[in-house]
Amino acid sequence: MGTPWMNPADSGWSVFDPLRPFARGGTLAGSVSKSSEAWKNYGLGRSMGRRNYLIEGVSCSGKTTICNELRERGYHVINGDTELAYQGDPATGEPLKGHAHEHHIWNVSKVKALAADQSHGATFFCGGSRNFHRFIDVFDLVFVLEVDLHTLNRRLAARPKGEWGSKPAEQRLIRRLHTTREDLPRDAVPIDATAPVDDVVNSVLKECS
């Protein structure tokens, strides 16, 4: 039988230790649903400092999947590729026409405004941008999802038609960027993104605790 739910403030745990009750194999992993209030509220809204995290990685590394899983667990998550991105000059932010990979940037003002928002205990920003150097200082930690070439090729082959990364030319670019790492932040925390989704998210949350 699982251990009864306990208020972390009464347990001696740190106020932001999200893996204690929910880690794979933990005492509550089999007894607490991801949709429950206990899951959603644990680690959120505590009396802790405001924290911002960036989850980066090449295309097909799993950024959107991790974004969705974190959101399902109740965390405040921004999908940068759908909520912040536009085509623009990485150096100036000036909007540009077209759909070029090198012009896929995030709105710097929006990123900084969201990062300054004190209404959430923590916010996870997921996605890639060519101008991260203009706002990377707002993050407490930066993660890069790591996949091997075999896994990358398998995921590229399964890419739905019409999505970026489904065309041969786009796939060649992704493989090159996987090798060169030129689009990725340096000195980031590497996360093995070949593991099951729950394990990947748990690895991220463990680093945040």
Q: Where are the alpha helices (DSSP H) in the chain?
A: 8-11, 37-41, 63-72, 80-83, 108-116, 149-157, 168-180, 197-208
Q: Per-residue confidence at 209, pLDDT binned at 50, 70, 90? A: confident
Beta pairing, strands 189-192 & 122-126:
unpaired
Q: Quick check: 23 pLDDT over 50?
A: no
Handedness of CA 16, 185, 65, 68 (dihedral sign): positive
Task: Name the fold adopted by 49-208.
Answer: Rossmann fold (3.40.50)
Greater confidence (94 vs 25) lies with 94
Give the residue carrying structure tokens 């928002």.
117
Q: What is the pLDDT of residue 33?
A: 53
Q: What are residue 117's phi and psi, to 5 degrees?
A: -65, 120
Contacts 24+ apart (CB under 8 A), 161-168: 164/59, 164/101, 165/59, 165/60
Q: What percentage of the chain carries pLDDT values higher than 70? A: 77
- Beta bridge pairs of residue 77: 124
Angle at 104 between CA 158 and CA 163, to 5 degrees: 20
Average pLDDT over residues 191-204: 98
Model pLDDT for residues 50-92, shown as the tens digit of each residue: 899 999 999 999 999 999 999 999 999 999 999 999 999 999 9
Q: Model pTM?
A: 0.78
